[in-house]
Amino acid sequence: MAGVRPLRYLARMTDGVANAKRVAAFAAADLVESGMCVGLGTGSTFAFVIERLAERMRDEGLELSGVPTSEATAKLAKAAGIPLRDLDAVERLDLAIDGADEVDPQKNLIKGGGGAHLRERIVASAAPELVVIVDDQKLVDVLGAKFLLPVEVVPLGWRHTARRLAATGCEPKRREQNGGPVLSDNGNLLLDCKYDGITDPTALARELDSLVGVVDHGLFVGMAGRIVVGNSAGDVRLIP
Ligand code: 5RP
């Protein structure tokens, strides 16, 4: 692929996908410089960023602070000794790093597999760049052909919101766990929407933005900066 710089990182795990996530995360964590305030994403890939940042704080004396995108990340970061700040206590972030569920050739994303996409969007919007970390299986030609699009909706009247969503060409399903609805950190419901491929993410994002009852959706259009892609062999490439 044109414009892609190959890097090589040492493979440290045997599990293929976990290894791919880990090498991408480690490469992105190495972009952080001392003194930075960093937007801290959410998910299993991002957990490896925290691991690497903690390692660098210990080994190199790296100093940073972070703004978490979820309660889960706040807990992990605190345990790793990363100082946390409230978003409103900082003027701007220096960088945001986060995972994604799918990435298309235009660097549009589906996010929200962990249900944190609202906070992820807000935090990423406060940074000059959102660096996205993925394993290579998440690179797709068309978004939404495999992965369901997460949509966060207000609990009040959610069945009506689901019908409005269905009218955009999907089958929405309420996310559930242990027989009950999953709530986001914001106390809202998550509807996972099955589209038959999202051929025009810009138009769909605009349509979803206008729906009553929708708080936010997982389509991140034109927001991604560099994409750091890892594979199971431990190779990392950067899509600029
Ligand atoms: C959470 C997200 C995650 O970044 C996305 O779901 C990727 O998760 P993972 O790194 O566990 O595959 O958007 O809301």
Q: Is the beta carbon of 114 within 6 A of some atom in ligand 1? A: yes
**Which pLDDT band, with edges at 50, 70 and 90, does 12 fall under?**
very low
> What residues make up the domain containing 196?
149-217
**Burial of 1 from C-beta contacts in 10 A (0-12 / 13-18 / 19+):** exposed
* pLDDT over 70 percentage in the chain: 94
Pair 190, 82 in one domain: no
Q: Domains in the chain: how many in total?
A: 2
92 lies in the same domain as 160: no
Residue 170 is predicted with a pLDDT of: 98
Atom from ligand 1 closest to the CA of residue 133: 10
120 classed as catalytic: yes
Residue 179 belongs to a domain: yes
Percent of the chain with pLDDT over 90: 94
Q: What is the CATH number of the domain that holds 206?
A: 3.30.70.260
The atom number, within ligand 1, closest to the CA of 112 reads: 14
In a shared domain, residues 123 and 182: no
- Nearest Cα to 152, choosing from 117, 190, 193? 190
